[in-house]
Amino acid sequence: MADTTDTKSSNQMWGGRFASGPDAIMEEINASIGFDKKLFAQDIRGSIAHATMLAHQGIISAEDKDKIVHGLNTILSEIESGNFEFSRRLEDIHMNIEARLATLIGPAAGRLHTARSRNDQVALDFRLWVKEELEKTEKMLTGLIAAFLDRAEEHAESVMPGFTHLQTAQPVTFGHHCMAYVEMFGRDRSRVRHAIEHLDESPIGAAALAGTGYPIDRHMTAKALGFREPTRNSIDTVSDRDFAIEFLSIAAISGMHLSRLAEEIVIWSTPQFGFVRLSDAFSTGSSIMPQKKNPDAAELVRAKTGRINGSLVALLTIMKGLPLAYSKDMQEDKEQVFDAAESLELAIAAMTGMVRDMTVNTARMKAAAGSGFSTATDLADWLVREAGLPFRDAHHVTGRAVALAESKGCDLAELPLADLQAIHSAITDKVYDVLTVEASVASRKSFGGTAPSEVRKQIAFWRARN
Ligand code: ARG
């Protein structure tokens, strides 16, 4: 390739930092090799499948195909062993590999690009990369779900306060709370599976945008590359980046779930709550305050969500309003996806470790579960069930009991029977059976409720699917 570097003086308006003319800037804005070298393995796999198909269809000779495949495999090991020199002048991974192939095998290298364009080539490489990343994400979410299932099983009976508005609401079990996250990450994983189905079509052979006059076999390359089938519209094929946006939106939703978990861990591990204690492996100390144990990993997971959301918005904005088919704007897709993928992987891995390692303080949770009049709803339900009151009236009676307990500085269960009967004459000493937190959670047997028996059913449901 000719060296087009221009040595005339730099542009007066914006060339201060450039030693040479505008070509240096052009090279800098144009080149993607700095980040798309990550796609080398996918690029080589795609080229081997393409060359093999070209020979099978009689478009190139078997000898040329053998040289091409051998040369590409050599390049693969050169890159893997760090013995490949990437050149920015060659713009991107596709041209870096093709130029090296020409050096290695001579003129036969020039036949590889028959019946294809960098437009379908990059669409292929990136799709293969995103597909592998989705498969990795699916496995990692399965690991996180498994960690929660183990903790849920261990704590199917451990009571804790359930919150709404972060105010004590009703007692729940820690196992039930863990299973809430299993539902969230289970939905994330099913979104990942759907995304794999959506992108499972091979772009190669769409060529620049219109298809090709060569008698290629796109079903053959699709099969060789592990895709379900080839894409059906060559214009859409080189224009589409919604597979990448779908990955980012799934990452953003999962990141949002992870950030809620991160926030709960931050709250639970404060000395004031003391519900969990993070292992040394997932916390840090303070350089000035010796008593501190900081939940840095959880905080960073919470923060990674910001990066992932940024990537989603960036790519949506890059793609918005682009005319069909390919435009160079689309080269900006990769860094967003690479960065979000790295953040998501780290966040899931850190959370899986934290969930597995943290020590759960069941005594603290139980004590907190009983405070804040958390069994008030149970008293109201008892009045409906045993004394036949309409729920609204029962709610009012219970409110008076809570106010009285509050003024006496005691719990509902500590109010003397005479006090309760003064509020409503139908109350008997049987009411004390429902005022404990254990009785409260055990009574909530409705499907999906917090009773240990129900939680165990949900654990069994997910174990069979994990
Ligand atoms: N580096 C380019 C990208 O990532 C490859 C495709 C270039 N195609 C073109 N027509 N210039 O998008």
Which residue's C-alpha comes closest to atom 12 of ligand 1?
331
Work out the pLDDT band at 24, boundaries 50, 70, 90.
confident
Ligand 1: nearest atom to the Cα of 91? 1
Distance of alpha carbon 353 from alpha carbon 143, whole angstroms: 10
Q: Between the CA atoms of 91, 92, 93 and 95, what dihedral angle is there, to the nearest 10 degrees?
A: -50
Residue 334, C-beta contacts closer than 8 angstroms, at least 6 positions apart: 32, 35, 36, 38, 39, 126
pLDDT for 4 equals: 41
Distance of alpha carbon 394 from alpha carbon 391, whole angstroms: 5
Mutate to test the pocket of ligand 1, among 97, 119, 315 (most ligand atoms within 8 A of CB): 119
The upper half-sphere exposure of residue 171, i.e. CA atoms within 13 Å in the direction of its Cβ, equals 31
| Nearest in space to 120 (alpha carbons), one of 207, 239, 191 | 207
Question: What is the pTM (predicted TM-score) of this model?
Answer: 0.91
Active site residue 219: no
Work out the pLDDT band at 13, boundaries 50, 70, 90.
very low
Distance of alpha carbon 28 from alpha carbon 20, whole angstroms: 12
Q: How many other CB atoms are there within 10 angstroms of residue 369's CB atom? A: 27
User: What does the pLDDT average to over 394-423?
Assistant: 93
Which residue's C-alpha comes closest to atom 4 of ligand 1?
331
| Token representation of residue 425 | 């004459």
User: What does the pLDDT average to over 323-350?
Assistant: 98
Work out the pLDDT band at 9, boundaries 50, 70, 90.
low
| Token representation of residue 165 | 């508005």
Ligand 1 cavity residues, CB under 6 Å: 32, 36, 92, 118-119, 122, 326, 328, 330-331
Decide if pLDDT at 19 tops 90.
no
- Compare 347 and 25 and report the one with higher pLDDT: 347
Q: Which of 286, 327, 371, 453 is catalytic?
A: 286
Which residue's C-alpha comes closest to atom 3 of ligand 1?
331
Percentage of the chain lying above the pLDDT 90 cut: 85
Ligand 1: nearest atom to the Cα of 36? 4
User: What does the pLDDT average to over 343-354?
Assistant: 97
Which residue's C-alpha comes closest to atom 10 of ligand 1?
119
Q: Which of 21-30, 330-339, 351-360, 428-437 has the lowest mean pLDDT?
A: 21-30
Active site residue 165: yes
